[in-house]
Chain A
């Protein structure tokens, strides 16, 4: 069964931990958002991928197995799809994203 890493672009808030923990599959664009390589994960990478998915503060990184998204932590049931209640604040339409450069102090 092949697994790949997938990002939920709505949940993603460009924290960037995924790229640090799985650079083989994730790079960051100009604005700090992940560019995900959709190739299957090798056996050694799966643990790193799980760690990266666990590290994501907004649960935006998912591990997908053959078209079915599974939880980052093993064994648990699938998370409920985002309902109105779980939708966190969405960003203003005006661009106000922090880029990686202005995060460095």
Chain B
């Protein structure tokens, strides 16, 4: 592990080229050679003490947490997979169903080898010999990944890299949904237990990891945990990729250290191009924070917790003062309700009812007691689905009720405002219009035999 790299940004985005993907040669020139680990021997957890190779311990020391939104400690997940029975398998989750986030797409497009490094390292550490990179349909045109897989053949790493296309959908990237798809079913969540780390793809213990998490793993393996912890906060060390959007001079993906203030990020992005009313943090199923409170906010879970927010998928979506926050929230809420898998009654009915009630408030057609009804529906819906989708959607509405209280009261009393009819600021993906059944039918993933997979293209 070389100590040549200084503890500053960029780390993941080091050497990134906006025109093309970094080839294997360039990637190794930027980051150094792949580290050699002791083979992660598979030992039953608990019988022989702390299992796992040096990498898992290093990741635990570095305090790496998942970057797919749940922020689960990566080392714990790896240990759980190693402790389960069966031959493990790694799944790289680059589906990025969150519309406002493009960081995973960027990683695959420009830095595929960084992600693949992480996938290979994770596989070796847990004793897996296969890794499947999953992308959603809209990103299926990223030939960079397949090319990168082809380039790595010469390395003879002992880990078979495969590629799978997942149907578009907000919840397609949910862990159990992804595993369900890879097993030949629809990309919809399943009821746990068993968790993917116990029985996942083909009934094997599966490590499902976000693409960015694996990218971090690749640099931790090279530079070490102490180096990694030089940035970030003690509770949330390291850096993260965030997607900044809205009335800003240069929107896009930025690499920040955890704990950086939103103001510094806005400055780095060239400053605001219009007055901002509020910012949506974490994703569309995230939390609104008032612009007046925004400037003191630091981007780490610890600092965002008092606002009921978390870094999540790293979405920082600014909303200009000219837009109608109520209309935007109503739109997002309706979209989130439509994105429900449709499997759990409380989610299907609850989100629909919440979206309808909120829309009624937005147009002034809600009766008296709508606020209480909304609060009641929120408490009825939260936590009663098989996945966390209803929880996220509910969080959006709840934070909207807190931050946009004034606008909501105006809308309830007087109906739509002048800004309601404006062109929407928060973009929704084009595939939203496709019926879910069509999306599921169009692509098929791993069947019982892996020979049906589309393996990485020949160089």
Complex contact flag A–B (Cβ < 8 Å): yes
Residues of A with C-beta under 8 A to B343:
9-10, 90-91
Cβ of B453 < 8 Å from any Cβ of A?
A: no
Residues of A with C-beta under 8 A to B384:
9, 33, 35
Determine which of A11, A33, A84 lies in contact with B185 in the assembled complex, contact meaning CB atoms within 8 Å. Answer: A84
Contact B191 A11, beta carbon cutoff 8 Å = yes
Contact B194 A81, beta carbon cutoff 8 Å = yes
Residues of B with C-beta under 8 A to A32:
345
Q: Is the interface of B mostly helix, strand, loop or mixed?
A: loop
Contact mask for chain A residues 1-14; partner B; CB cutoff 8 A; 1 contact, 0 none: 00000001111111
Contact A8 B348, beta carbon cutoff 8 Å = no
User: Shortest beta-carbon distance, B450 to chain A, in Å?
Assistant: 16
Q: Which of B189, B191, B199, B340 has the most CB of A within 10 A?
A: B191
User: Shortest beta-carbon distance, B351 to chain A, in Å?
Assistant: 10
Interface residues of B in 414-459 (CB under 8 A from A): 435-436
Chain B: CB-nearest residue to A95 = B352
Cβ of A40 < 8 Å from any Cβ of B?
A: no
Determine which of A9, A82, A87 lies in contact with B345 in the assembled complex, contact meaning CB atoms within 8 Å. Answer: A9
Residues of A with C-beta under 8 A to B85:
none
Contact B349 A69, beta carbon cutoff 8 Å = no
Contact A82 B191, beta carbon cutoff 8 Å = yes
Residues of B with C-beta under 8 A to A35:
380, 384
Interface size class, chain B: 20 to 34
Chain A: CB-nearest residue to B351 = A95
Contact A91 B342, beta carbon cutoff 8 Å = yes
Contact B349 A31, beta carbon cutoff 8 Å = yes
User: Shortest beta-carbon distance, A63 to chain B, in Å?
Assistant: 14
**Considering the chains assembled together, what is the distance between the CA atoms of A69 and B193 in angstroms?**
8
Interface residues of A in 30-72 (CB under 8 A from B): 30-33, 35, 68-69
**Considering the chains assembled together, what is the distance between the CA atoms of A99 and B436 in angstroms?**
25
Contact A90 B342, beta carbon cutoff 8 Å = yes
Contact B190 A10, beta carbon cutoff 8 Å = yes
Cβ of A102 < 8 Å from any Cβ of B?
A: no
**Considering the chains assembled together, what is the distance between the CA atoms of A64 and B345 in angstroms?**
21
Determine which of B185, B189, B193, B345 lies in contact with A12 in the assembled complex, contact meaning CB atoms within 8 Å. Answer: B345
Chain B: CB-nearest residue to A64 = B193
Cβ of B346 < 8 Å from any Cβ of A?
A: yes
User: Shortest beta-carbon distance, B10 to chain A, in Å?
Assistant: 41
Given contacts A84-B183, A93-B436, contact A33 B346 (CB under 8 A): yes
Residues of A with C-beta under 8 A to B340:
93
User: Shortest beta-carbon distance, A10 to chain B, in Å?
Assistant: 5
Cβ of B90 < 8 Å from any Cβ of A?
A: no
Given contacts A29-B380, A33-B346, contact A10 B189 (CB under 8 A): yes
Given contacts A8-B191, A93-B338, A95-B352, contact A29 B346 (CB under 8 A): yes
**Considering the chains assembled together, what is the distance between the CA atoms of A77 and B11 in angstroms?**
50
Cβ of B99 < 8 Å from any Cβ of A?
A: no
Contact B190 A82, beta carbon cutoff 8 Å = yes
Interface residues of A in 67-102 (CB under 8 A from B): 68-69, 81-84, 87, 90-93, 95, 97
Contact B349 A95, beta carbon cutoff 8 Å = yes
Residues of A with C-beta under 8 A to B385:
9
Cβ of B276 < 8 Å from any Cβ of A?
A: no
**Considering the chains assembled together, what is the distance between the CA atoms of A68 and B192 in angstroms?**
11
Contact mask for chain B residues 372-409; partner A; CB cutoff 8 A; 1 contact, 0 none: 00000000100011100000000000000000000000
Contact A91 B348, beta carbon cutoff 8 Å = yes
**Considering the chains assembled together, what is the distance between the CA atoms of A94 and B199 in angstroms?**
32
User: Shortest beta-carbon distance, A39 to chain B, in Å?
Assistant: 15
Residues of A with C-beta under 8 A to B21:
none
**Considering the chains assembled together, what is the distance between the CA atoms of A30 and B377 in angstroms?**
9
Contact A81 B380, beta carbon cutoff 8 Å = no
Q: Apart from A8-B191, A9-B191, A33-B346, what are 7 other A-B pairs with CB-CB below 8 Å?
A: A9-B343, A12-B344, A31-B349, A32-B345, A81-B190, A90-B342, A91-B348
Spell out A's residues near B (CB within 8 Å): 8-14, 29-33, 35, 68-69, 81-84, 87, 90-93, 95, 97
Cβ contacts A to B, 17 pairs, < 8 Å: A8-B191, A9-B346, A9-B385, A11-B191, A12-B345, A14-B345, A29-B380, A31-B345, A31-B349, A33-B345, A33-B346, A81-B194, A90-B188, A90-B342, A92-B342, A93-B338, A93-B342
